[in-house]
Chain A
Amino acid sequence: MKVAISVIFGILTALVLVIGGYLGFVTIRESKGLLREVDSLQTRVNSLKSEVAGRAERLQEEATIAAELDSLRSALQASEEGIEERFTNRGRPTSKAVISDSQKVEGIYPFKLKVDGAASAVDSFLIELQKQVPLVRFEKLEGVRKGRNLRLEATGSVRFPR
Chain B
Amino acid sequence: MIRIDLAVPRRRERLTTWHYLVIWVCVFLFVVVGAGIGLVFQGRRLESIEQENASLRATSDSLKTQKTAVAHYESIEAQYRELLGKIEDASRYNERYLEVMRLLDAKLGPRMKLVSFQIEADSATAMVLAPSNLEVRRYVDALLGSAMFELITSEPQGSREGLIQHRLLLRVR
Contact = CB atoms under 8 A, between A and B. Distances in A.
Interface of A: 1-2, 5-6, 9-10, 12-13, 16-17, 19-20, 23-24, 27-28, 30-31, 34-35, 37-38, 41-42, 44-45, 48-49, 51-52, 55-56, 58-59, 61-62, 65-66, 68-69, 72-73, 76, 119, 123, 126-127, 130, 134-145, 159, 161
B83 A140 contact: no
B101 A141 contact: yes
25 contacts: A5-B24, A9-B24, A9-B28, A17-B35, A20-B36, A20-B38, A24-B35, A24-B38, A31-B42, A31-B45, A31-B46, A34-B53, A38-B53, A45-B56, A45-B59, A48-B60, A48-B67, A55-B70, A59-B69, A69-B76, A130-B94, A141-B119, A142-B118, A144-B115, A161-B83
B36 to A, nearest CB: 8
B102 interface: yes
Contacts of A59: 66, 69-70, 73
Contacts of B119: 140-142
Contact of B56 (A16, A41, A65, A141): A41
Contacts of A134: 87, 90-91
Contacts of A56: 66, 70
A12 B32 CA distance: 10
A55 B76 CA distance: 14
A65 B76 CA distance: 7
Given A52-B67, A72-B80, A140 B120 contact: yes
Given A17-B31, A66-B76, A69-B83, 7 more contacts: A16-B32, A19-B35, A20-B39, A23-B42, A41-B56, A48-B66, A58-B70
Contacts of B90: 130, 134-137
